[in-house]
Structure 1
Amino acid sequence: MTKVLVVEDIPSEMALISSFLQESGYAVITATDAKEALEKVAQYKPDVVVTDVVMPGMSGFELCRSLKKNPETEKLPIVVCTSKNQELDRLWAMKQGADAYVTKPFSREDLVRALKSVVV
């Protein structure tokens, strides 16, 4: 079963993403900020990370950079899931190391399609 780490600071968004993924057959691990996400990546070795961008402390973009800089996690696929829907935001996310980009609001199909596109 594919393990997905969901990084989201808004409880309702976390619940929605988690339920979509669980219904689609993924094992879900959660973190409410990027610092906790880095700890969970080391602890649980997820197959993919789904992260918000705007979070307290470290942003999702900073999380991407941190994961891609580390030789142990540089190949870890990252899906950015955010309300930032400008083309510039998408380009910046890819430059930071994101492998896919989903804008809120999204459907379960949008999220699962993004995951399938990055998890081999």
Structure 2
Amino acid sequence: MMSTVLIVEDTPSERELLSHYLQESGYIVIEAVSAKEALDKVAEQKPDVVVTDVVMPGMSGFALCRALKKHPVTEDVPIIICTSKNQDIDRLWGMKQGADVYITKPFTRDQFIRAVQSVGG
């Protein structure tokens, strides 16, 4: 069965790239441009994995993690944070907010797909 991945990324070029990587690897992709939109889509479409950026207008990726992890319907959905914030403190904070995997840009297609596979996608 094909896994569905929700990409939450406000930059169109980044979103397109990640979407392309996933589709090439046989995943079904749902896209959201904001954390708020992501919350709606997760509830409706129940993706297998959520991939989110951190820095977005409105609600951050960290806040999205917290919201997903405290809701019974979405608490078990694995979250991958993809970000250019590469300090140890950011990674630590991300994991504390409920992220399962934290990968920093720039990363290769292989690193990205491996991260998705590692959480069962």
Structure 1 residues 47-77: Cα deviation after superposition (integer angstroms, max 9, x where no partner)? 0000000000000000000000001111100
Q: What RMSD over aligned residues (CA atoms) do the two structures have, in Å?
A: 0.8
Deviation of residue 88 (structure 1)? 0.7
For residues 1-120 of structure 1, the aligned pairs below 5 Å read 1-119=2-120
Q: Distance in 2 between matches of 1:64 and 1:34?
A: 9
Q: Distance in 2 between matches of 1:44 and 1:74?
A: 14
Deviation of residue 106 (structure 1)? 1.1
User: Runs of 5+ in structure 2 lacking a partner?
Assistant: none
Deviation of residue 43 (structure 1)? 1.2
Paired residues, what number?
120
**TM-score normalized by the length of structure 2:** 0.97
Runs ≥4 residues deviating over 6 A: none
Deviation of residue 12 (structure 1)? 0.3
The share of aligned pairs that are identical, in percent, is 68
Q: Distance in 1 between matches of 2:43 and 2:52?
A: 16
